[in-house]
Amino acid sequence: MNAAGFPILTLLTFLPLVGVAIILTVRGDEAVVAANARWMALWTSLVIFVMSLVLWAKFDLADPGFQFVESASWLPQVGLTYKMGVDGISVLFVLLATALTPICILASWESITTRVREYMIAFLVLETMMVGMFSALDFLVFYMFFEGVLIPMYLIIGIWGGPRRVYAALKFFLYTLAGSLLMLLALLAMWNQAGTTDIAVLMHTVFAPRMQMWLFVAFFASFAVKVPMWPVHTWLPDAHVEAPTAGSVILAGVLLKMGAYGFLRFSVPMLPDAAAYFAPYIYTLSVVAVIYTSLVALAQTDMKKLIAYSSVAHMGVVTIGIFTFNAQGMSGALFQMLSHGIVAAALFLCVGVIYDRMHTREIARYGGLAHRMPAYALTFMIFTMASVGLPGTAGFAGEFLVLIGSFKVNIWLAFLGGMGMILGAIYMLYLYRRIVFGALQRADLKGILDLSPREVAIFVPLVIVTIWMGVYPSSFTQFFDASVGAMVDHHQAAIAAATKLAGVIR
Amino acid sequence: MNWTIAIPEIVLSLLGMGILIFGVLQKRNTFHMCSMLTVGALIFTMVLVVSGASGLGYSGLFLADSYAVYVKLLVLAASVLGIVVSLDYNEHENLRRFEFPVLMLFATVGMMIMASASNMMSLYMGVELQSLAIYVLAAFARDDLRSSEAGLKYFVLGALASGLLLYGISLVYGFSGSMAFDHLAFVLADPSRASAGLVVGIVFVVAGLAFKISAVPFHMWTPDVYEGAPTPVTAFMATAPKVAAVALFVRVMIGPFGHLVSQWQQLIVLVSIGSMALGALAAIGQGNIKRLMAYSSIGHMGYILVGLAAGTQVGVRGVLIYLVTYVFTNAGMFACLVAMRRRGRAVERIADLGGLGKTDPGMAAALTIFLFSMAGIPPFAGFIGKYFVFVAAVNTGLWTLAVIGMVASAISAFYYIRIIKVMYFDAPEAAFDARPSSLSVVAGAGALFTTVFFIFPAPVVAAAEAAAKVLFG
């Protein structure tokens, strides 16, 4: 039995479906159903969040391997098992998913008025998929959750989204599906060689260098779209702009991390030679992403689009960090993923707050909000600073570690990657100035209200976490230090072995 | 003589004749009664199939093994679903004639013989019995121009295909001296003994069978016949006969011609790629949902042939698993399509589904499940099926085929997802008429199966494994 004493990951994964079942049984007129669905979804997600804190409490920081492992026979004939477990790399993402879901449900409390029941069901199903994906220890189980995420997200964007939602939903779906199908092929190829899809076994299976190249390309097709890396990022701005606020929050907060998580879980440990071979290309794409999308962000007139492009830039920093293959870079990437998960989610919520009031995301339609909404201005500022990477906020530690890591690889990489911080400061502060400062000129802004108690309840935990991550980052880094260290050792050993082999052959 | 091995077929035929006489003698309309009797007969036959004896009999014409049992059970289940789907439709469309279920029953007998064929002669008999019954069914709405046209088209092209098949059989016989599968396999154990004439014969046999499963380039009849035939007949055609024909195809290629894999593999690969590509591309422009389903089934046949192209036990297992997911997804899908009826009139445009998510959430949810499953999105059943056929392709190193299959599957996802878009994102059309419970049951059962199959695939996989093993035993 695992450290929790009960199958916690399975429960975390499938409890949302129990909530769905209960919501489905609610009868009555639309208002009653909507109210019940909201409360039920909120309670379900809160219970799950509280339960997931067990992971935080009981996680053994010194153990780099998988913990809370549980497995059950699924398809013994072909070597497939249902296996769940978390290590230092995934545990915090499970927590991120369980923490953001109740926040999303709260954020949709009033802004979603049509088909509330279906909306809440979609969110709970999405939670199942996200938690399942981060805790799956069998490749096929992982794949099923990874793809399954598309279904609720497609519906969330397509039904409750903005005016161009249909286009955005379809683009989102097809882009990510096309990528993942290649990953499925890679999965089959790995299964064919190793005879199992157990991730822990695959991590220690040595694949021939040539095969690694192909597998890496197939994985890359899937994960690069999900991250998203330049130039396959174009679905993201569309999806973000058209999605409802909570959809954007979960998209930026958790779904973008799936790609980077995939790199960390599969590409780097399972295909070390190919990862080392392709690293320069990844650096190039990431640097382009950081600089190019930062400049694009600067030119945006739509708030959500601006933050969407900034997400691409921030994720570029993450991919640089992952492929430095040293402890600082990888820890930095993980930290940046977490902080971006919190901060970008919070920024989308900030946009949602004023969008709910004014029903526009045009930056030019705002200005001088500080006069009417001081609490909002303060909140927005904290997250803007965190996004910029101000020391003392969540954004700093991650970017700093990645920079150190990339310095060890190449000074130019560090320099160009670091440009992102400067450009980020420019576009974020420019955004903040245009919305919050200046004179309050527009007549319809004069009656705008400050944060409601519900919105305060949403933002307070996010603010606390943001500052906590900035002031005392080691309470988060301690979770993944052991796992990252093991991964770096594993990578170096594999590279050394490959070099030695090449030497022998030569 | 070991005649007991054919008891299920004999009993089912006798029951069919009994139902026929019952229908003729009764003065009042007995459509509903006969349908129910047929369903009963089919279910009774299922029991007989499960408990039946196995072995080779009838001078080597008829073979009962676990492969045949697997296929027969699936065919019988698909026929039961087909009849249930037709109940309400035929009442509405003035097709309540007792011959309808009886024809389905005899088609089913034909399919069971196909599943058990162990000789080119019994193969041909089974195929013809099945086809003749379905020609009539396709033209069953005889006062409807489209239905008559569909029947005629199907008959003419089907006769051509039968001719090809027969010609191929004659060539095979002429160049090998036998029509029995086991003898053919014995003769061809040394591939060098396969003369050019024999290979030509095999090509003709493949062409004839490819027609029956509507694989490219013998697919031309499919869209027209699917569109013109009464919807329940289309539902039936899309499920049970496809299963039987695929099963027969696999048995012929693996059994008698199993040692010539290298000769026919290229052929199957080409047919498979063509079917997947056409299924993915041609469906995009369709506005009629029955035509779309026709192209979709062409595509699915392409995926199934991926498993056959591998020519291994893993491949056959994949085919058999795919067939199960295919039957249940399609039966449920067609149950929903039959329920598309507005003010008494059947409608079949994709646009008619507009806003179904609002007007009938239950049916929209079921359709969504079926469409995601056909697109191969996990965790639905269709994904499991695809997974097992592509495992086989990768296993045998057919990388090109696997990659093309994945690309086709991404493209075809586009039009499946588009229907979901129409249902959920478009403005609502007028609501459909109330759904009869028979259709709700089939759609619900199909949706349930499609959704939970991934949790309990082990029994089906084990059965498919055992069935596939027989062919290679």
Please report residues of B whose CB lies closer than 8 A to that of A155. Answer: 424
Q: Considering only the beta carbons, identify the residue of A77, A143, A189 that sits closest to B378.
A: A143
C-alpha dist (Å) from residue B341 to B69, B194, B434: 37, 55, 8
Helix (H, G, I), strand (E, B) or coil at B195: coil
Quick check: is A29 in a domain? yes
Contacts of B211 (CB under 8 A, 6+ apart): B157, B158, B160, B161, B164, B218, B221
The predicted pLDDT at position A505 comes to 61
Please report residues of B whose CB lies closer than 8 A to that of A140. Answer: 387
Sign of the C-alpha dihedral computed for residues A416, A418, A420 and A423 taken in this order: negative
Rounded to 10 deg, the angle between the A327-358 and A474-505 helix axes is 130
Q: Could you read off the pLDDT tens digit of each residue along chain B, which spans 473 residues?
A: 688 888 999 999 999 999 999 999 988 888 889 999 999 999 999 999 998 888 888 888 899 999 999 999 999 999 999 999 998 888 888 888 888 999 999 999 999 999 999 999 999 999 999 999 999 999 888 888 889 999 999 999 999 999 999 999 999 999 888 889 888 888 888 877 778 888 899 999 999 999 989 888 888 899 999 998 999 999 999 999 999 999 999 999 998 888 888 888 888 999 999 999 998 898 888 889 999 999 999 999 999 999 999 989 999 999 999 999 999 999 999 999 998 888 888 888 888 888 888 888 888 999 999 999 998 888 899 888 998 999 888 888 888 898 899 888 888 888 888 888 888 888 887 888 888 888 999 999 999 999 999 888 888 999 999 999 998 87
Structural domain boundaries, residue A266: 8-505
Quick check: is A25 in a domain? yes
Ranges of chain A with pLDDT below 70: 1-4, 504-506
Please report residues of B whose CB lies closer than 8 A to that of A189. Answer: 394
Q: Considering only the beta carbons, identify the residue of A144, A165, A173 that sits closest to B378.
A: A144
Whether residue A185 and residue B406 make contact (CB cut-off 8 A), yes or no, is yes
Question: How many independent structural domains does chain A possess?
Answer: 1
Residue pair B164/B207 in contact by the 8 Å Cβ criterion: yes
Give the pair of three-digit tokens for residue A20: 């769905």
The predicted pLDDT at position A325 comes to 87
Find residue A138's DSSP bridge partners.
A198
Whether residue A174 and residue B390 make contact (CB cut-off 8 A), yes or no, is no
Sign of the C-alpha dihedral computed for residues B238, B241, B243 and B248 taken in this order: negative
Q: Considering only the beta carbons, identify the residue of B391, B418, B465 that sits closest to A188.
A: B391
Quick check: is A1 in a domain? no
Whether residue A192 and residue B406 make contact (CB cut-off 8 A), yes or no, is no
Please report residues of A whose CB lies closer than 8 A to that of B354. Answer: none
Contacts of B95 (CB under 8 A, 6+ apart): B89, B140, B141, B230
Quick check: is A389 in a domain? yes
The predicted pLDDT at position A3 comes to 65
**What is the C-alpha to C-alpha distance for residues A393 and A379, in angstroms, rounded to an integer?**
13
Whether residue B390 and residue A184 make contact (CB cut-off 8 A), yes or no, is yes
Contacts of B456 (CB under 8 A, 6+ apart): none
The predicted pLDDT at position B48 comes to 92
Angle at A258 between CA A257 and CA A261, to 5 degrees: 85
Cβ of A62: how many Cβ atoms within 10 Å? 8
Q: Considering only the beta carbons, identify the residue of B406, B457, B461 that sits closest to A184.
A: B406
Per-residue DSSP letters for B314-353?
A: HHHHHHHHHHHHHHHHHHHHHHHHHT-EETTEE--BGGGG
- How far B301 CA lies from chain A's nearest CA (Å)? 19
A99-143 pLDDT, tens digit each: 989 988 888 888 877 788 888 888 899 999 999 999 888 888 898
> Which of A20, A173, A196, A219 best probes binding to B when mutated, by most B CB atoms within 10 angstroms?
A173
Whether residue A192 and residue B391 make contact (CB cut-off 8 A), yes or no, is yes
A residues 100-129 near B, CB within 8 Å?
115, 118
Quick check: is A2 in a domain? no
Please report residues of B whose CB lies closer than 8 A to that of A74. Answer: 458
Nearest CA in chain B to A72: B455
Residue pair B171/B204 in contact by the 8 Å Cβ criterion: yes
A242 touches chain B (CB under 8 A): no
The pTM of this model reads 0.89
Contacts of B126 (CB under 8 A, 6+ apart): B110, B111, B112, B113, B114, B115, B116, B117, B244, B248
Residues in chain B whose beta carbon is closer than 8 A to a beta carbon of chain A? 357-358, 361, 372, 377-379, 383, 387, 390-391, 393-395, 402-403, 406-407, 409-410, 413-414, 417-418, 420-421, 424-425, 454, 457-458, 461-462, 465
Quick check: is A324 in a domain? yes
- How far B390 CA lies from chain A's nearest CA (Å)? 8
**What is the C-alpha to C-alpha distance for residues B25 and B17, in angstroms, rounded to an integer?**
12
The predicted pLDDT at position A60 comes to 83
> Which of B312, B316, B373, B387 best probes binding to A when mutated, by most A CB atoms within 10 angstroms?
B387
Whether residue A148 and residue B383 make contact (CB cut-off 8 A), yes or no, is no
Find residue A73's DSSP bridge partners.
A81
A138 touches chain B (CB under 8 A): no
A434-456 pLDDT, tens digit each: 888 877 777 777 777 888 888 88
Quick check: is A444 in a domain? yes
Whether residue A148 and residue B377 make contact (CB cut-off 8 A), yes or no, is yes
The predicted pLDDT at position B286 comes to 87
A325 touches chain B (CB under 8 A): no
Quick check: is A3 in a domain? no
Q: Considering only the beta carbons, identify the residue of A75, A144, A177 that sits closest to B410.
A: A177
Tell me whether 0.90 is exceeded by the ipTM.
no
The predicted pLDDT at position B35 comes to 92
Nearest CA in chain A to B401: A185
